[in-house]
Amino acid sequence: MSASADQPDPKTLKRTPLHGLHLGLGAKMVPFAGYDMPVQYPAGIIKEHLHTRAAAGLFDVSHMGQVILRGEGAAAALERLVPGDIQGLEPGRMRYTQFTNDEGGILDDLMVTRMPPNADAGTEALFVVVNADCKEQDVAHMRAGFAGDYALETLADRALLALQGPAAAGVLARRAPASAEMTFLSGRRLEIDGIDCFVTRSGYTGEDGFEISLPAAAAAAFAEALLAEPEVEAIGLGARDSLRLEAGLCLYGHDIDTTTTPVEAALAWSIGKRRRTEGGFPGAEVILGQIAEGPPRKRVGLLPEGRAPAREHTEIADRTGGAIGSVTSGGFGPSVGGPVAMGYVETAQAQPGTQVSLLVRDRPRPARVAALPFVKPNYHRG
């Protein structure tokens, strides 16, 4: 996922199909990735965060890029651009991976689902979700990489909603009983309330949940129906960020970018055995070399002492005061009950329990390296 640092004229911002619903719910709107998006609702970020952990939260993620790649050999073609094992995906299964450059840096991270045969008349097809800030460059990157051999369709007429939390499965099963059969990182086409949806059991919170792609014209009424369920509340970008931080999940443009490799970012688990053996993706020499020999730095969790959060760009120092890295994401963790952060440190200082200092407001504050995630994930693996 990614964030935009610019502050454009509100009149130039794009709007998702749920924009009017957000305003009606009293959302505070902010510019985000070129869109006018809800950062929070009247309940506030902490309550929204805790509600998602306890029941079910509904997120508008329609700003994300949705793409269908069609054609025999599409999975092999995508592997020319990513280190993930896409050919090994069974129909109806999904995988997290990254677009990489020749230096091993991350251009974007993405989710890829091999669509079941009945979802696309038997033609090999991949459903790809990319970050909002990067979607135009990602589509151009794919078109250039495929050299016109495959059909690439951007789904600009579809919305994307995320229903997350321990009550999400029960809520969706009332409308689509077959959704209860799905497991973590699976996807299938479902008819829900008479609407043709493509549903994946996935999300960005560390909780069980679903992401639902549906026609934009039907999105507002569909969202209102879900919000009418007693377990469901609307959740904004603020709580989405604190939820993913507690879950130890990367935010593109912050925790990962073109200066970080998947190995440094603690994402080597996303590179399967076959890809490690065969290579054949951009930056393979650098990335596979780091897998074999170890990276110079690693992304780690950080637990600051006290109540003051350590924000992005905060310097990390060792016990002698020498700089060893910097914070890439940080804030208050409502489920943890205190500040949490992630950042990069020299590999020698990356062991959980290592004592470090964080330069917060020009004052060194004690902290320790911690294992990620900060909260136990609740994915439904079946």
Q: How confident is the model at residue 3, as a pLDDT? A: 43
Whether residue 4 has pLDDT greater than 70: no
190 three-class SS:
strand
Mean pLDDT of 168-183: 98
d(CA 343, CA 327): 4
6 — pLDDT class (breaks 50, 70, 90): very low
Fold of 1-293: Gyrase A; domain 2 (3.30.1360)
Rounded mean pLDDT, 335-349: 98
- Asked, colleague to colleague, whether 1-293 and 296-382 share their fold, the answer is no
Residue 116 confidence (pLDDT): 86
**171 in Cβ contact with 229 (< 8 Å):** yes
Pairing mode of beta strands 94-100, 65-70: unpaired
Count how many Cα atoms sit within 13 Å of the Cα of residue 62 in the half-sphere of its side chain: 26
d(CA 85, CA 78): 10
- H or E segment and range at residue 39: strand 35-40
- In the structure, what pLDDT confidence band is assigned to residue 1 with cuts at 50, 70 and 90? very low
- Given this model, what pLDDT does residue 246 score? 98
Query: CB of 100 within 8 A of CB of 84?
Result: no
pLDDT band at 361 (very low <50, low <70, confident <90, very high): confident
Which amino acid, residue 119? A
Question: How confident is the model at residue 258, as a pLDDT?
Answer: 98
Note the pLDDT tens digit of each residue in 196-209: 999 999 999 999 99
- Whether 351 shows a pLDDT value over 50: the answer reads yes
- Please state the domain extents for the chain: 1-293, 296-382
Fold of 296-382: Elongation Factor Tu (Ef-tu); domain 3 (2.40.30)
